Amino acid sequence: MTIPAPICPPKRILMGPGPSDIDPRVLAAMAAPTVGHLDPYFLQTMDEIRSMLREVFQTSNDLTLSVSGTGSSGMETCVVNLVEPGDKVVICKNGVFGMRMADVAERAGAEVTTIEKGFSEIFSADEVAEVVDRIKPKLVGIVHAETSTGAWQPLEEISKVVHDGGALLLADCVTSLGGVLVKVDEWGLDAVYSGTQKCLSCPPCLAPVTFSPRAVEVINARQTKVASWYLDMTMVRNYWGEDRAYHHTAPINSNYGLHEALRLILEEGLENRFARHMRNHKALKAGLAALGIQYSVPEGQQLPMLNSVLIPDGVDDAATRKQLLTEFGIEIGAGLGPVKGKTWRIGLMGAASCEQNVVYFLAALERCLSGQGIAVDAGAGVAAANGVYSAS
């Protein structure tokens, strides 16, 4: 056979729903020499990752670690460890990832009840309280930052009604962690999962998770084995804890990358990082408005790191995304589910959330629109974004 050429990927600006751009320091950390998964150096690295994850999650939870797998493995970890066959579970579905959570819970043997809202809508505490009072579930699952729609779901009041009903609250923070405030302890979140490829700006390889003491009690009181051997926290926690009992060979270099990514977040400071994401979101929003493009999510419910916008009438969705990629090296995401072909998902996550990307993207998008005969004021998008930057 002919040996393929060595890997030499094109340089992209990742402004889609993930993965996001990766800081060079993270890539350099991942290229460091591999040690054994029980090497004292790596065990120290694991301890430091746990400590930094607690800072980013804003929690003191002992059971906080990075699962060896992508964000979806974090979702499965939380569900299969907390749910036993026959348990009643309520899942809030307002996008693709709420739908996936329900699917995973059903596969774990739960009796799943869903409450549903339209794509781009969020749930009220009263809506959740009604179903909790009626079903009396063991677990309620909800998405904090719905990647498929760009909707930002408040959790504080929902947490109160879930706990008042005697249930645990599971939150999907895959897109929100590191980009907006996530207060696990203050909000009373019992189980939370995320992914490294969004606002943490790592490759898609690990899934940070955290479990409250109440959730750990539920895990300890299980009457059946966890359905997944690989994701069984009753065993995995012994590897991450004091016992250091071998469970699986952790992805050493991926954890190096997460370690450096967490260091970058804490160096910047959580509040500064959140402010950066919001500032770039506002500049992008102003620029898009100047080009006649509106958001698909109502005001006040829009994620700053995942901007879901309505594709203007007469614009070719696929052709625009293709031109952005091939001519400008910019990747943005298409709509999913019922909004496929109707929305674009523009990511400003982690290292990709910067002024240069906002201004460059707006200029590139203007070129694409003009080339399709869409009337836009020349330079209006960039000028509007610069106005936000000048005023902030």
- Averaged pLDDT of the chain: 97
* SS3 of the chain: helix, strand, coil, percent, to 5: 45, 15, 40
Q: Which CATH number fits domain 24-267: 3.30.540.10, 3.40.640.10, 3.40.50.1100, 1.10.3720.10?
A: 3.40.640.10
pLDDT(221) > 90 = yes
Tell me yes or no: is domain 270-391 CATH 3.90.1150.10.
yes
Question: Which band of pLDDT confidence, cut at 50, 70 and 90, is reported for residue 296?
Answer: very high
Q: Which two tokens stand for residue 147?
A: 């990647």
Pairing state between β 206-211 and 191-193: antiparallel
3-class secondary structure for 258-317? HHHHHHHHHHHCHHHHHHHHHHHHHHHHHHHHHCCCCECCCCCCECCCEEEEECCCCCCH
Mean pLDDT of the region 73-101: 97
* 202/195 Cα distance (integer angstroms): 9
Q: Write out pLDDT tens, residues 311-327.
A: 999 999 999 999 999 99
Give domain limits for the chain: 24-267, 270-391
In this predicted structure, the answer to whether residue 392 has a pLDDT above a threshold of 90 is: no
Q: Which two tokens stand for residue 374?
A: 């869409």
Helix axis angle for 270-290 and 252-268, nearest 10°, is: 80
Task: Give tens-digit pLDDT for 25-72.
Answer: 999 999 999 999 999 999 999 999 999 999 999 999 999 999 999 999
CA distances (Å), 226 to each of 138, 213, 220, 236, in order?
A: 16, 18, 11, 12
